[in-house]
Amino acid sequence: MTTGLVLSLDAMGGDHAPQSVVDGAALFLKGRRRHVRLLFHGDEALLAPLVARHPGLSAVSEIRHTDSEVDMSAKPSEAVRRSRGSSMWNAVHAIKDGEAQVAVSAGNTGALMAISKVILRMKPGVHRPAIAASWPAPSGYSTVLDVGANVDCTPAMLVEFAVLGEAFHRALRGVERPTVGLLNVGQEELKGSQVIRDADALVRAAGLDMAYRGFIEGDDISAGTTHVVVTDGFTGNVALKTAEGTARLVANWMRSAMTGSLLAKAGAALLSLGALKELRARMDPRNVNGGVFLGLNGVVVKSHGGTDAQGFATSLRIALEMADSAFLSEIETNLARLAAIQDNPDAGAGEPQKESA
């Protein structure tokens, strides 16, 4: 695209919107040479003065006025019925209209998912979209999905998540053959819930030509044992927030350790000249803020509702990477492979695929 990429933003979604959205966008643009344009959807009277504060941002932005927004506590079904014309609706619709390549919102997660499904529709072969999160690991990032879209999952849905997540990781991280694991409470096949065991059997039977590693456990996520971690939205959401909480607790401990005594302060000062800053950046959840919706005909990124400008800027960086990547075509290739196996079981491992839904 010669005119550069266009990001469509729900400027009114999130606890600190629209300030965090506009300031986040300005932060995101800083030092970026590539031409990117931004569409802000929301209350123009509020947005115009905020955008005007940042001349660089102003030059590449357009405000699309609406005075309707989706309530943070609205039920998804309600949101779909009542949200036509809201900032969230319009932000997603801009993708369908071909005006933008990716939409970003820090608003109500359930509503954003429901609206995205209605407007963009799911890719053929996908029962329910999933949210994928990037998770810090010793070398680079792991991908964890689902982290909140689907509280109850069938084995067939978990197989789809594996297919979606593998394509996502290859597109975003450039790993040719990402390894995939299924989150469980034990590595032995006899452990875990029936759904997980059935999903494991289903992946193996499907013969997906995927580097599937079987069951992994909670401590494997941060260890980076596999590139892609597949789980239901309840477990994934709890795991993600638990990790964030643990990192926050440890950061607080570090802070108090480094301000406890004069000696400690001197030590911390020396460290700050070196690697401490990087360590803090690595531990900051704002630097991995952004869940990507997988399985839709388009790219939608969900920022944490409570994030600030820095966290929102990270979501925009992820959105840009996604829009730039071969993500949608990778997903299509994987889904076509899954469909081929389902239509013609002999194409896979030779075992007929049973769907237990």
Residue 107 contacts its own copies per CB under 8 A: no
Residues 6+ apart with CB under 8 A from 291: 109, 131, 132, 133, 147, 148, 301, 302
Binding status of residue 5 toward its own copies by CB under 8 A: no
Distance of closest approach, residue 117 Cβ to its own copies, in angstroms: 18
Q: Is 264 in the site for its own copies (CB under 8 A)?
A: yes
- Among 81, 177, 282, 354, which residue interacts with its own copies (rule: CB under 8 A)? 282
**Backbone phi, psi, residue 318, to 5°:** -60, -45
DSSP state of 307: -
The C-alpha atoms of residue 279 and residue 272 are separated, in whole angstroms, by 10
Binding mask 147-176 for its own copies (x = CB under 8 A): -x--xx------------------------
Site residues (CB under 8 A) for its own copies, limited to 299-338: none
List the end-to-end C-alpha distance of the chain, in Å, as a whole number: 41
Give bridge partners of residue 36 from the DSSP assignment: 5
Cα–Cα distances (Å) from 262 to 185, 202, 227, in that order, read 45, 59, 43
Judged by beta carbon, residue 261 or residue 329, the one nearer its own copies is 261
The number of beta carbons lying within 10 Å of the beta carbon of residue 47 is 24
Candidate residues 192, 295, 298, 348; the one interacting with its own copies per rule CB under 8 A: 192
Q: Looking at this protein, which amino acid is placed at residue 212?
A: Y
For its own copies, the closer of residues 176 and 188 by Cβ is: 188
For 120-137, give the DSSP string.
H-BPTT-SS-EEEEEEE-
- The correct pick among 190, 343, 350, 357 for binding its own copies (CB under 8 A) is 190
By the rule CB under 8 A, 81 interacts with its own copies: no
Binding of residue 106 to its own copies (CB under 8 A): no
The least distance separating its own copies from the CB of residue 229, rounded to whole angstroms, comes to 10
Q: Which stretch binds its own copies (CB under 8 A): 32-40, 190-198, 320-328, 335-343?
A: 190-198
Q: Please report how close the Cβ of residue 199 comes to its own copies at its closest, in angstroms.
A: 13
**Selected binder of its own copies within 136, 155, 178, 291 (CB under 8 A):** 136
Report the distance separating Cα 95 and Cα 112, nearest Å.
14
Residue 161: CB minimum distance to its own copies, A: 16
Helix-strand-coil percent breakdown of the chain, rounded to 5?
A: 50, 15, 35
* Cβ 250 to its own copies shortest distance, Å: 5
239 binds its own copies (CB under 8 A): yes
**Considering the complex, what minimum distance in angstroms separates the CB of residue 17 from its own copies?**
19
As separate numbers, helices (DSSP H) first and strands (DSSP E) second, the chain gives 14, 11
Residue 236 or 298: which CB sits closer to its own copies?
236
Alpha helix ranges (H) inside the chain: 19-29, 44-52, 55-60, 76-82, 87-96, 109-120, 155-173, 194-206, 218-223, 233-258, 262-273, 276-283, 309-324, 327-343
Q: From its phi and psi, is residue 85 left (phi > 0), alpha (psi between -120 and 50) or beta?
A: left
268 lies in the binding site for its own copies (CB under 8 A): yes
For residues 239 and 191, is the Cβ–Cβ distance under 8 A? Answer: no
Among 18, 181, 233, 348, interactor with its own copies by CB under 8 A: 233
The backbone torsions φ and ψ at residue 226, rounded to the nearest 5 degrees and listed phi first, read -130, 155
Q: Which of 31, 138, 350, 357 binds its own copies (CB under 8 A)?
A: 138
User: Minimum distance between the CB of residue 326 and its own copies, rounded to whole angstroms?
Assistant: 29
In the bound state with its own copies, the residue whose beta carbon lies nearer, of 156 and 239, is: 239
For its own copies, the binding residue among 45, 48, 52, 266 (CB under 8 A) is: 266
Residue numbers of the site for its own copies (CB under 8 A)?
73, 75, 110, 136-138, 148, 151-152, 183, 185, 188, 190-194, 217-223, 231, 233-235, 237-250, 252-254, 256-258, 260-261, 263-264, 266-276, 278-279, 282-283
